[in-house]
């Protein structure tokens, strides 16, 4: 649990991912690692629909397919190396000293699972390489990553903006209470003003929760603003974020089961979809 | 879950649909030809190919592999069909499926590691030879209806199959062969054997039916030996094919899921009036070559096969057997491992003997299971023989000639036990001997009794015997192999 790991894939979000990772690495005083995973995508050989097989067909086919994969693999490897170099340069320019680069083959989620013990904070882009044209939708790897990992994940928007303040989406549940404690004990947000937002109509219970959270954070040295606003979760959070020009949103991720998500939809997914300008820190 | 469905079914739609169509076209002549080998109506093989291909697409463990009615399985059914009839074949097919599912749950797929590369090659070559030999009756001049026209058409068919791809690779050449030869035969009104002469073709979709056999012990006694052979051969060919597809596509597959999947597919086939089947080496290669990679291609192949056969049955029955023979000769040539012939010179003799022996046993028994069994046995014997060379006994005598120390190094087991016993000089008159076993491994009871024999023999000569390091040496007898898999145990094995 030492590194800030940033996932680079060559999409247009990657530079922002690098910058946010550099920022987090400096705040946390943790080494920064750039990770590029060479996903094996299935691209079949040029089709030969003749349907005939002769002597040595199997051997010929094997060598033909191997040759194709070899060429493709070399290009991808080279491409990945260039991307990692570029990422390193951004981080160096931002004043990060401890930088490592890592290239692995395989599935992104599986690779991250293997690396999990070394990861302190994971920085990923909202959309992958093929997602640049997807508009507001979230990339196809992101939800799987978030669901599998048990580390904080920073979802980067398209452009970098130095965070000047942050807000915590709070509902008094065990997950978010733990999140408050994590934020309080982490150097990541040191010195930034903090907003705690609860969604709902104010009750004594909620006020008690809010006071507890405020106390924890104030003891840790944050200046805290709290607010209880009624309305639909996503709208309230987004409106508040835009109104106060918040630099980063902190929330618990996927607190509910997959079945519930299928029926009512997930707040986390909705929030990621609306993270076009402000990064989102997901706490698991 | 959703991700894997997307990956397994929809990641390569265009390639899979095209490959599925090509495979479906190639499956039709094969299914008909294999039904004829088994001695049943073509519809039994066609229904089987449809069921197995569609079911395995969902339940199989190796996306991109094609399963259907196969020659290896058909050859095993011949006597069952001849002596007891179709209903018993359907019952045997059901039982085959059940056995395969049990094998899958017992994880017997991992036993494949005992099947060496040369046995696999022998299996593939034997299969190719059997498929070829099964075509010979259609070319035998004493079969009624076989005239010089048949030879001419078969030759023309092979010519089209191998030369047409030079013109275009967009149309499957076996299909062109079948269409051209059928057209020629119909136009000239040739009196040669056609598919229609071979038995009934499907005219409806398959219907659910329970095999009409008495449910008693007698039935079980009839079908069980067949079902066991079918299950073993089916799994062998399926797992071998899965390995081939793994290699071709550079991906991995779930072998135990494949075993269970083959079982489910065979049960479905048996209940819908089809014969047992398994994965097909030739078709899987065609599938990968045509761009098929996911489960979708196998599904499309099965589905299209049924549609074509049910709606085109009048046309299918007009296909001359000569066209099928040409296609099947192509399949057998494509299945044969050409490199195994060119490699004969480079590979060690023992490997070549295993491969050739597998082929010979299969060709004589017409049962691939026996061939594999013979191959595996032979390979194990060769291996045991090789390892038995790694045993050495050295000795030295002390200065006054009263004490001799024997040092045993290496592997002592059934194959090297005699060599071990013979390494001692019982005629030598010494007061005492020491046998140092610290660097030896005793693998079985044979080696222990050989040691006993040596000790007793020396004692009878009046020589005192002392054993050193017996505990380390016999540690390997303990059959808990899991212990040896740990790195520190391996260190001990190599070092002590």
CATH number for the domain spanning A177: value is 3.40.50.620
Choosing among A41, A55, A58, which should be mutated to test the B contact, i.e. which has the most B CBs within 10 A? A58
Which contiguous run of DSSP H or E holds residue B336? none
Contact assignment for B173 to A51 by CB distance below 8 Å = yes
- Whether A237 and A274 map to the same domain: the answer is yes
User: Could you tell me if B60 and B261 are in contact, meaning their C-beta atoms sit under 8 angstroms apart?
Assistant: yes
Question: Looking at residues A252-270, what average pLDDT do you find?
Answer: 64
Contact assignment for A58 to B18 by CB distance below 8 Å = no
Contact assignment for B290 to A53 by CB distance below 8 Å = no
**Residue B77: CB partners within 8 Å, gap ≥ 6?**
B38, B39, B40, B89, B92, B226, B230, B275, B276
Measured between beta carbons, the chain A residues lying within 8 angstroms of B336 are 55
- Whether A15 and A88 map to the same domain: the answer is yes
C-alpha radius of gyration, chain B, whole number? 29
With a cut of 80, say whether residue B60 has pLDDT above it.
yes
Contact assignment for B175 to A51 by CB distance below 8 Å = yes
Q: Is residue A218 part of a domain?
A: yes
Give the single-character DSSP code of B320. Answer: B
Return the pLDDT at B224. Answer: 95
User: Could you tell me if A40 and A158 are in contact, meaning their C-beta atoms sit under 8 angstroms apart?
Assistant: no
Q: What confidence category does residue B310 fall into, taking pLDDT thresholds of 50, 70 and 90? A: confident
CA angle, residues A4, A6, A8, in degrees to nearest 5: 165
Strand pairing category for B277-279 and B67-69: antiparallel
User: Could you tell me if B44 and B275 are in contact, meaning their C-beta atoms sit under 8 angstroms apart?
Assistant: yes
Residue A44 touches partner B, C-beta closer than 8 Å: yes
Return the pLDDT at A104. Answer: 87
Min Cα separation B330/chain A (Å)? 6
With a cut of 80, say whether residue A240 has pLDDT above it.
yes
Question: Sheet holding B464-468: strands in order across?
Answer: B391-397, B403-412, B432-442, B464-468
Q: For residue B445, count other CB atoms closer than 10 A to its CB.
A: 12
For residues B256 and A27, what is the distance between their CA atoms, to the nearest angstrom? 49
Min Cα separation B42/chain A (Å)? 22
Q: Is residue A116 part of a domain?
A: yes
Burial group, residue A264, by CB count within 10 angstroms (0-12, 13-18, 19+): exposed
Instruction: Enumerate residues 142 to 171 of chain A having a beta carbon within 8 A of any beta carbon in chain B.
Output: 144
Q: For residue A17, count other CB atoms closer than 10 A to its CB.
A: 28
- Whether A138 and A177 map to the same domain: the answer is no
With a cut of 90, say whether residue B357 has pLDDT above it.
yes
Return the pLDDT at B184. Answer: 92
With a cut of 70, say whether residue B486 has pLDDT above it.
no
Q: For residue B373, count other CB atoms closer than 10 A to its CB.
A: 15
Contact assignment for A61 to B289 by CB distance below 8 Å = yes
- Whether A140 and A246 map to the same domain: the answer is no
Only one residue has tokens 């300008």, namely: A277
Return the pLDDT at A158. Answer: 82
Min Cα separation B179/chain A (Å)? 15
What is the DSSP annotation of B129-196? HHHHHHHHHHH-TTSTT--HHHHHHHHHHHHHHHHHHHH-SSS-HHHHHHHHHHHHHHHHT----BGG
Min Cα separation A56/chain B (Å)? 5
Min Cα separation B334/chain A (Å)? 4
With a cut of 80, say whether residue A64 has pLDDT above it.
yes
For residues B12 and B351, what is the distance between their CA atoms, to the nearest angstrom? 40
What is the DSSP annotation of B344-381? GGTS-HHHHHHHHHHHHHHHHHS-HHHHHHHHHHHHHH
Most confident of A43-57, A101-115, B272-286, B302-316: B272-286
pLDDT in tens, A102-131: 888 888 888 888 888 888 899 988 766 555
Q: Looking at per-residue confidence, does B109 or B45 come out higher? A: B45
Sign of the alpha-carbon dihedral angle for B469, B473, B479, B483: positive
Q: Which chain A residue has its CA at the smallest distance from B7's CA?
A: A42
pLDDT in tens, B206-237: 888 888 888 889 999 999 999 999 999 999 99
- The encoded tokens of residue B15 equal 């390639």
With a cut of 90, say whether residue B191 has pLDDT above it.
no
For residues B261 and B241, what is the distance between their CA atoms, to the nearest angstrom? 14
Domain spanning B389-495, CATH class: alpha beta
Select the residue of B15, B26, B249 nearest A47 (Cβ to Cβ).
B15
Return the pLDDT at B484. Answer: 40
Q: Is residue A265 part of a domain?
A: yes
Only one residue has tokens 């019952």, namely: B91
How many CA atoms does the CB half-sphere of A229 hold within 13 Å? 19
Select the residue of A42, A48, A56 nearest B290 (Cβ to Cβ).
A48
With a cut of 80, say whether residue A254 has pLDDT above it.
no
Q: Which of B89, B420, B475 is nearest to B270 (CA)?
A: B89
- Whether A174 and A214 map to the same domain: the answer is yes
Measured between beta carbons, the chain A residues lying within 8 angstroms of B282 are 53
With a cut of 60, say whether residue B374 has pLDDT above it.
yes
Measured between beta carbons, the chain B residues lying within 8 angstroms of A66 are 250
Q: Inter-axis angle of helices B86-105 and B71-84, to 10 degrees?
A: 130
User: In total, how many domains does chain A have?
Assistant: 2
Min Cα separation B174/chain A (Å)? 7
User: Could you tell me if B266 and B102 are in contact, meaning their C-beta atoms sit under 8 angstroms apart?
Assistant: no
For residues B294 and B303, what is the distance between their CA atoms, to the nearest angstrom? 15
Return the pLDDT at B496. Answer: 45
With a cut of 90, say whether residue B303 has pLDDT above it.
yes
Number of H helices, E strands in chain A: 9, 10
Min Cα separation B23/chain A (Å)? 7
> Range with the lowest mean pLDDT among A65-74, A186-195, A267-276, B277-286?
A267-276
Question: Looking at residues B369-381, what average pLDDT do you find?
Answer: 93
Contact assignment for B165 to A48 by CB distance below 8 Å = yes
Out of A101, A136, A156, pick the residue that ends a domain: A156
- Whether A173 and A192 map to the same domain: the answer is yes
Q: What confidence category does residue B277 fall into, taking pLDDT thresholds of 50, 70 and 90? A: very high
Most confident of A123-137, A138-152, B5-19, B331-345: B331-345
- The encoded tokens of residue B417 equal 């036990």
Return the pLDDT at A228. Answer: 87
Query: B53-74 burial, b if ≥16 CB within 10 A, otherwise e?
Result: bbbbbebbbbbbbbbbbbbbbb
Which contiguous run of DSSP H or E holds residue B62? none
Select the residue of B175, B250, B286 nearest A53 (Cβ to Cβ).
B286
Q: Which chain A residue has its CA at the smallest distance from B293's CA?
A: A44
Question: Looking at residues B63-88, what average pLDDT do you find?
Answer: 92
Q: What is the ipTM of this complex?
A: 0.77
Residue A29 touches partner B, C-beta closer than 8 Å: no
Which contiguous run of DSSP H or E holds residue A250? strand A248-252
Measured between beta carbons, the chain A residues lying within 8 angstroms of B281 are 58
> Range with the lowest mean pLDDT among B98-102, B299-303, B374-378, B480-484?
B480-484
How far, in Å, are B112, B351, B376, B377, B479 from residue B380 at the CA level?
A: 14, 11, 6, 5, 18
pLDDT in tens, B410-424: 888 889 999 999 999
- Domain boundaries, given as residue ranges, for chain B: 2-133+183-320, 389-495
Point out which residues pair with A104 in neighbouring strands: A37
Contact assignment for A52 to B174 by CB distance below 8 Å = yes
Q: Is residue A62 part of a domain?
A: no
Q: Which of B221, B277, B222, B254 is nearest to B100 (CA)?
A: B277
- Start-to-end C-alpha separation, chain A: 15
Q: Mean pLDDT for chain A?
A: 82
pLDDT in tens, B380-402: 999 999 999 999 999 898 888 88
Only one residue has tokens 């779930």, namely: B254
With a cut of 90, say whether residue B268 has pLDDT above it.
yes
Per DSSP, the three-state class of B438 is strand
Q: Looking at per-residue confidence, does B486 or B237 come out higher? A: B237
Per DSSP, the three-state class of A15 is helix
Instruction: Tally A–B CB contacts below 8 A.
Output: 106
Contact assignment for B290 to A51 by CB distance below 8 Å = yes
Return the pLDDT at B483. Answer: 41
- The encoded tokens of residue B310 equal 């049910």
> Range with the lowest mean pLDDT among A3-7, A97-101, A181-185, B492-496?
B492-496
Q: Is residue A57 part of a domain?
A: no
Q: What confidence category does residue A10 fall into, taking pLDDT thresholds of 50, 70 and 90? A: confident
Q: What confidence category does residue A255 fall into, taking pLDDT thresholds of 50, 70 and 90? A: low
Return the pLDDT at B197. Answer: 84
Return the pLDDT at B481. Answer: 41
Q: Looking at per-residue confidence, does A169 or B155 come out higher? A: B155
User: Could you tell me if A116 and A51 are in contact, meaning their C-beta atoms sit under 8 angstroms apart?
Assistant: no
Contact assignment for A65 to B249 by CB distance below 8 Å = yes
Out of A156, A175, A196, pick the residue that ends a domain: A156
For residues A159 and A15, what is the distance between their CA atoms, to the nearest angstrom? 8
**Residue B402: CB partners within 8 Å, gap ≥ 6?**
B430, B431, B432
Q: For residue B434, count other CB atoms closer than 10 A to its CB.
A: 16
Min Cα separation A257/chain B (Å)? 14
- Whether A266 and A151 map to the same domain: the answer is no
Residue A60 touches partner B, C-beta closer than 8 Å: no
- Whether A146 and A255 map to the same domain: the answer is no
Q: Is residue A122 part of a domain?
A: yes
Min Cα separation A102/chain B (Å)? 23
Measured between beta carbons, the chain A residues lying within 8 angstroms of B293 are 42, 44
Contact assignment for A61 to B11 by CB distance below 8 Å = no
pTM comes to: 0.80
With a cut of 60, say whether residue B96 has pLDDT above it.
yes
Return the pLDDT at B215. Answer: 87
Contact assignment for A47 to B25 by CB distance below 8 Å = no
With a cut of 70, say whether residue B476 has pLDDT above it.
no
Contact assignment for B22 to A51 by CB distance below 8 Å = yes
Question: Looking at residues B20-44, what average pLDDT do you find?
Answer: 89
Select the residue of B162, B293, B336 nearest A42 (Cβ to Cβ).
B293
- Whether A16 and A151 map to the same domain: the answer is yes
Q: What confidence category does residue A207 fall into, taking pLDDT thresholds of 50, 70 and 90? A: confident
Measured between beta carbons, the chain B residues lying within 8 angstroms of A142 are none
Range of the domain at A276: 166-283
Return the pLDDT at B180. Answer: 93
Q: Is residue A121 part of a domain?
A: yes
Q: Looking at per-residue confidence, does A270 or A16 come out higher? A: A16
Out of A104, A132, A156, pick the residue that ends a domain: A156
Biggest distance spanned by C-alpha atoms of chain A: 82
């Amino acid at each position: 649990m030492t590194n800030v790991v940033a996932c680079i894939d060559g999409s247009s979000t990657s530079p922002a991912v690098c910058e946010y990772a550099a920022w987090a690495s400096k705040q946390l005083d943790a080494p920064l690692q750039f990770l590029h995973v060479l996903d094996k995508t299935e691209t079949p050989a040029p089709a030969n629909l003749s349907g005939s097989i002769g002597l040595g067909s199997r051997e010929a086919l094997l060598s033909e397919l191997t040759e194709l994969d070899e060429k493709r693999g070399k290009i991808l490897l080279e491409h990945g190396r260039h991307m990692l170099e570029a990422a390193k340069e951004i981080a160096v320019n931002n004043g990060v000293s401890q930088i490592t680069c890592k290239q692995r083959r395989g599935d992104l989620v599986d690779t991250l699972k293997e690396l999990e013990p070394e990861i302190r904070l994971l920085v990923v882009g909202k959309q992958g390489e093929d997602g640049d044209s997807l508009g507001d939708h979230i990339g196809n790897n992101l939800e799987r990553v978030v669901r599998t990992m048990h580390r904080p994940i920073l979802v980067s928007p398209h452009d970098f903006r130095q965070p000047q303040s942050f807000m915590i989406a709070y509902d008094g549940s065990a997950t978010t209470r733990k999140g408050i404690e994590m934020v309080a004990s982490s150097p990541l947000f040191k010195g930034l003003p903090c907003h705690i937002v609860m969604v709902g109509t104010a009750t004594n219970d909620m006020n008690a929760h809010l006071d507890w959270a405020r106390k924890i954070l104030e003891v840790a040295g944050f200046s805290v603003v709290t607010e209880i606003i009624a309305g639909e979760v996503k709208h309230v959070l987004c409106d508040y974020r835009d109104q106060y020009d918040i630099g980063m949103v902190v929330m618990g991720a996927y607190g509910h089961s997959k079945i519930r998500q299928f029926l009512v939809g997930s707040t986390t997914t909705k929030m990621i979809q609306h993270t076009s300008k402000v990064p989102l820190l997901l706490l698991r | 879950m959703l991700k894997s469905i997307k990956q397994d079914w929809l990641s390569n739609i265009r390639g899979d649909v095209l490959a599925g169509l090509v495979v479906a076209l190639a499956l039709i002549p094969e299914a008909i030809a294999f039904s004829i080998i088994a001695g049943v109506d073509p519809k039994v093989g066609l229904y089987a190919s449809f069921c197995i291909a569609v079911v395995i697409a969902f339940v199989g463990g190796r996306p991109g592999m094609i399963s259907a009615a196969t020659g290896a399985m058909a050859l095993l059914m011949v006597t069952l069909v001849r002596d007891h009839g179709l209903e018993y074949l359907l019952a045997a097919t059901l039982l085959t499926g059940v056995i395969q599912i049990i094998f899958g749950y017992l994880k017997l797929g991992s036993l494949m590691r005992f099947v060496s590369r040369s046995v696999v090659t022998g299996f593939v070559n034997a299969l190719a030879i059997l498929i070829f030999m099964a075509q010979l009756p259609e070319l035998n001049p004493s079969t009624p209806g076989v005239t010089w026209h048949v030879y001419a058409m078969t030759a023309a068919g092979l010519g089209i199959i191998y030369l047409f791809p030079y013109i275009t690779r967009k149309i499957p050449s076996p299909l062109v062969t079948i269409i051209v030869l059928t057209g020629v035969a119909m136009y000239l009104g040739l009196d040669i054997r056609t598919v229609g002469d071979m038995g009934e073709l499907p005219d409806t979709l398959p219907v659910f039916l329970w095999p009409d056999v008495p449910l008693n012990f007698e039935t079980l006694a009839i079908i069980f030996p067949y079902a066991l052979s079918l299950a073993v051969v089916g799994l062998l060919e399926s797992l071998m094919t899965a390995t081939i597809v793994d290699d071709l596509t550079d991906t991995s597959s779930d072998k135990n899921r494949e075993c269970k999947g083959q079982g489910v597919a065979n049960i479905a086939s048996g209940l819908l009036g089809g014969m047992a089947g398994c994965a097909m080496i030739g078709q899987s290669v065609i599938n990968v070559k045509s761009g098929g990679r996911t489960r979708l291609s196998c599904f499309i192949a099965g589905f299209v096969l049924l549609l074509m056969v049910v709606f085109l049955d009048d046309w299918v029955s007009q296909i001359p057997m000569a066209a099928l023979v040409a296609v099947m000769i192509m399949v057998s040539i494509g299945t044969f491992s050409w490199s195994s012939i060119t490699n004969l010179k480079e590979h060690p003799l023992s490997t070549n003997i295993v491969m050739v022996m597998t082929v010979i046993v299969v060709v004589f028994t017409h049962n691939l299971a026996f061939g594999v069994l013979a191959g595996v046995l032979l390979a194990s014997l060769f291996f045991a023989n090789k390892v038995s060379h790694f045993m050495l006994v050295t000795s030295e005598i002390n200065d006054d000639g009263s004490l001799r120390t024997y040092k045993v190094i290496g592997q002592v087991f059934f194959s090297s036990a005699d060599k071990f016993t013979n390494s001692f000089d019982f005629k030598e008159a010494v007061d005492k001997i020491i046998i140092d076993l610290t660097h030896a491994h005793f693998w079985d009871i044979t080696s222990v009794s050989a040691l006993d024999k040596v000790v007793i023999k020396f004692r009878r000569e009046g020589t005192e015997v002392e054993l050193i390091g017996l505990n380390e040496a016999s540690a390997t007898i303990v059959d808990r192999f899991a212990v040896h898999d740990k790195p520190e145990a391996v260190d001990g094995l190599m070092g002590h």
